Amino acid sequence: MTAEVAGAAPFDAAQLTAAIRIRTSTGRAAIRVRVFAIPGGVRIETRGNARDVALGGLIGTAAARLVALAAADLLLDDLATAPQDTTDVPVSSVAGAVGARRAPSRSTTTVSALGGAAAWSHALGGLGFDVAASSGTWLVAVEAGGASLVGGPLRLTAATLRIGGGARVGLAELRATATFMPLIVDDGAGDRTVLVGGGASARLRVPLISSMRGVVAGGIDLFATRTVYLVERMPVLTTPRASPWIAVGLEVTP
């Protein structure tokens, strides 16, 4: 281990090295701790991490011991789990010897399969799947599925495509999306059209087994376009301006 003390720090490298060795078993790990003076204290830098320590007027061995406490906290996890790993880990810079350590963000991809229904004048029931890629709290997602009008006056099928993003916090997830819904009507002369709009949804993701979670989801799609269908010149179905929906299913992490 190498300790480097720069500027007007109130202790020397030997005092800091001795204080750190008392508190942390470094073994043969290649570790360099750099300390330099700042107003009211010092800043520690090691392995890509940094922390400010207020010394409160301490000097010499007493100051070195206080700094060693903070340095040991920065080093402890890396030395205990992966001595040869030199990956930089961001650390919140706070005043005082004890600070909050922030883990690096990890990218995760999840795939979900859901069955559900949307509230039109008659239920629109169907199946869908989605792929979501998250980094830390934030995610982007693509949802796709198909559905049919249940017990309605027309033979109508629909495809749903939602593209958007959101956030995951604990077991909860929130999304905002652009929504595209192509419609196919097979009665009479038939019809092809696309509803365009946006939507918002929430999900509860409940762990079941390793890499698998149960999902309960609900949301609403708001459409900028609407279509009225007539049978013998009488309106029998108007696509909704707002379409609430619910779904349940499974999510896996490949």
Strands of the sheet with 2-6, listed across from one edge: 2-6, 32-38, 41-46, 49-54
Residue 136 domain-assigned (yes or no): yes
Residues 43 and 111 in one domain: no
Measured distance CA(98)–CA(33) in Å, rounded: 17
Whether residue 139 contacts residue 132, with contact meaning beta carbons closer than 8 Å, is answered with yes
Partnered with residue 157 across adjacent β-strands are 148, 184
- In the predicted model, is pLDDT for residue 190 greater than 60? yes
Mean pLDDT of 31-54: 80
Q: What is the mean pLDDT of the chain?
A: 83
Residues 62 and 113 in one domain: no
Encoded amino acid at 217, one letter: A
Greater model confidence, 248 or 18: 248
- In the predicted model, is pLDDT for residue 250 greater than 70? yes
Of 5, 72, 69, 83, the residue nearest 38 (C-alpha): 5
Domain boundary, last residue among 81, 98, 130: 81
Mean pLDDT of 27-33: 65
When divided into structural domains, the chain yields a total of 2
Residue 89 domain-assigned (yes or no): no
Domain boundary, last residue among 31, 46, 81: 81
Residues 13 and 133 in one domain: no
- In the predicted model, is pLDDT for residue 88 greater than 80? no
Residues 74 and 113 in one domain: no
pLDDT reported for residue 70: 80
Residues 58 and 140 in one domain: no
State both tokens at 230. Answer: 């007539």
Mean pLDDT of 119-132: 96
pTM exceeds 0.85 for this model? no
Domain boundary, last residue among 47, 81, 115: 81
Angle between helices 60-81 and 13-23 (to 10 degrees): 50
109-122: pLDDT as tens digits: 999 999 999 999 99
Residues 185 and 235 in one domain: yes
Residue 102 domain-assigned (yes or no): no
Q: Is 99 helix (H, G, I), strand (E, B) or coil?
A: coil
Residue 238 domain-assigned (yes or no): yes
pLDDT reported for residue 160: 97
Residue 100 domain-assigned (yes or no): no
pLDDT reported for residue 23: 72
Residues 75 and 119 in one domain: no
pLDDT reported for residue 115: 98
Residues 64 and 20 in one domain: yes
* Length of the chain in terms of residues written: 254
Q: Which domain holds residue 39?
A: 2-81
Residue 137 domain-assigned (yes or no): yes
pLDDT reported for residue 91: 35
Measured distance CA(122)–CA(153) in Å, rounded: 9
Residues 117 and 203 in one domain: yes
Measured distance CA(223)–CA(210) in Å, rounded: 38
